[in-house]
Amino acid sequence: MYTELLGYIAAICTTAAFVPQVLKTYKTKSAKSLSLGMFLLFTAGIILWLIYGFIINEYPIIAANVVTLILAGLLIYFKLTYKN
């Protein structure tokens, strides 16, 4: 039980770290400082972690990576949309 709780706390921390960047990019409509290559590679890693979470049936890994995938996807979308 404690290990799953630890997993959820870690998931919340690492996933929440992306929220300020998503909000800033959305508000400023500028993704100039974001590295597209980094976010594409990062997103590939998230997808692999998500697959891994499903294989081992670990909900903290699944939940964190679903949310992080959405946030990273938004940043990639912003990077491709806000060309300035």
**What secondary structure letter does DSSP report for 34?**
S
Domain spans of the chain?
Answer: 2-81
Q: DSSP strand E in 1-84: where?
A: none
Q: Does domain 2-81 have CATH number 1.20.1280.290?
A: yes
4-7 long-range contacts (CB < 8 A, ≥24 apart) are 4/59, 4/60, 7/58, 7/60, 7/61
| Residue 3's pLDDT band (cuts 50, 70, 90) | confident
Condensed to tens digits (0 to 9), the pLDDT of residues 16-63 reads: 988 999 999 999 999 998 999 999 999 999 999 999 999 999 888 999
> Are 45 and 9 a contacting pair, CB within 8 Å?
no
